[in-house]
């Protein structure tokens, strides 16, 4: 069942970069940008991460936490963060639990071959844990700015 605006965002507790865990419940009372991306250090994912990172102060000023999520392991997240100077949390969903709960672990196809992967999607979650906005099948250019404007308006 696909999530929609107004639904309660599924909680998760996942390993995060730098060690420890990150849970949505632990961020209650703050707005959260949960952006799902396919793979660390690939061109589109890198551009998206750098765009969000560049707006981090504006997101903080808007009372909004940024969390990136992918199926990559913590070790990969740590290298990705260090390489690009990222200053927000990256959650590792190696078991795909959260990605499946959010309905974004989907069948994809490329060059006639089908496979399972992350559909690049962003969720804006309000202070009460409800989904305020969803951006499916994200195109990276200008996306972080659009999400920031929505977070500021929330």
Q: Among all chains, which residue has been given the structure tokens 């903080």?
A: 60
Helices (H) then strands (E): counts for the chain: 5, 9
Q: Which of 24, 34, 45, 150 is catalytic?
A: 45
Per the listing, tokens 């920031």 go with: 148
45 is catalytic: yes
* Phi, psi (deg, nearest 5) at residue 115: -160, 165
How many alpha carbons fall within 13 Å on the CB side of residue 70?
23
Q: Is 44 helix (H, G, I), strand (E, B) or coil?
A: helix
Q: Which helix (H) or strand (E) holds 34?
A: strand 31-36
Q: Is 46 helix (H, G, I), strand (E, B) or coil?
A: helix
Which residues does the annotation mark as catalytic?
Answer: 45
């Amino acid at each position: 069942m696909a999530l929609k605006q107004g639904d309660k965002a599924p909680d998760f507790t996942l390993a995060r970069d730098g060690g420890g865990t990150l849970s949505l419940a632990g961020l209650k009372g703050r707005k959260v940008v949960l952006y799902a991306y396919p793979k660390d250090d690939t061109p589109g994912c890198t551009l998206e991460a750098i765009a969000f990172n560049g707006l981090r102060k504006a997101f903080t000023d808007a009372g909004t936490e940024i969390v990136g999520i992918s199926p990559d392991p913590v070790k990969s997240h740590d290298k990705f963060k260090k390489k690009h100077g990222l200053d927000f949390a990256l959650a590792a969903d190696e078991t795909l639990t959260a990605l499946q709960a959010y309905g974004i672990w989907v069948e994809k196809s490329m060059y006639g071959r089908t496979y399972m992967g992350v559909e690049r999607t962003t969720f804006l979650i309000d202070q009460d844990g409800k989904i305020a906005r969803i951006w499916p099948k994200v195109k990276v250019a200008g996306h972080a700015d659009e999400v920031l404007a929505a977070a500021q308006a929330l």
